[in-house]
Chain A
Amino acid sequence: QEKLSGKDEL
């Protein structure tokens, strides 16, 4: 699902 607010970033 679309990552909420840049959660795929560190």
Chain B
Amino acid sequence: MNIFRLAGDLSHLLAIILLLIKIWKTRSCAGISGKSQILFAVVYVSRYLDLVTTFISLYNTLMKLVFITSSFATLYLMYVKFKATYDHNHDSFRIEFLLLPCFVLALLINASFTPLEVLWTFSIYLEAVAILPQLFLVSKTGEAESITSHYLFALGSYRALYLLNWIYRYYAEGHYDLIAIFAGAIQTILYCDFFYLYITKVLKGKKLQLPA
């Protein structure tokens, strides 16, 4: 464990908590993409199957359980409890166009052709693009509530911090995983446009408005 990975995990946890607070406090999931939340749930389930086979540390097990339960709690809030506030019209990204290619790519490019490894690789590729429906929704509505933009900033920062973690681990431990690094780089790049808007607007107290 290193400071970059810890900061990344905490940023990830913060993002998940911010999202739950936003939905619970405003009793609405307006501006949030349910499609992205479905993809995140698929990412966690397909990545954390080793919960039952490998014990790495209490921290590792605990965080995995928190991520899985919170993602299903978010789905419940969005598709059941506050279903009436879900923005069906704008949340129209076809996630099958993400799920299928990621799965095919995981079958073709992976570290070893075993079910666990292929599913882990699938979750890595899927996580890289899982935010697209959310960014698509923000671009369609043209704006985002400030807490939603804080959620996105924390979520985008987590994988950016992981990139620093991978640089650190390469030099400190000689450990690296090209699949995770490439996917993590793409995932972070997808946020760049949002990061720019967040830093130039939201941090100045303005609302996140996308140029129409």
Contact = CB atoms under 8 A, between A and B. Distances in A.
Interface of A: 3-10
Given A4-B111, A4-B112, A4-B117, A10 B63 contact: yes
A4 B50 CA distance: 12
Contacts of A4: 111-112, 117
B64 to A, nearest CB: 7
A8 B179 CA distance: 15
Overall SS of chain B's interface: helix
A5 B12 contact: no
Interface of B: 5, 9, 12, 50, 54, 56-57, 60, 63-64, 67, 111-112, 117, 120, 162, 165, 175, 177, 179-180
Contacts of B63: 10
B177 A5 contact: yes
A8 B56 contact: yes
5 contacts: A5-B120, A6-B177, A7-B50, A7-B54, A10-B67
Contacts, number: 30
A9 B111 contact: no
Contacts of B12: 10
A9 B63 CA distance: 10
B162 A9 contact: yes
B80 to A, nearest CB: 27
A7 B180 CA distance: 10
B112 A7 contact: no
Contacts of A3: 56
Contacts of B56: 3, 7-8
Contacts of B120: 5, 7
B180 to A, nearest CB: 5
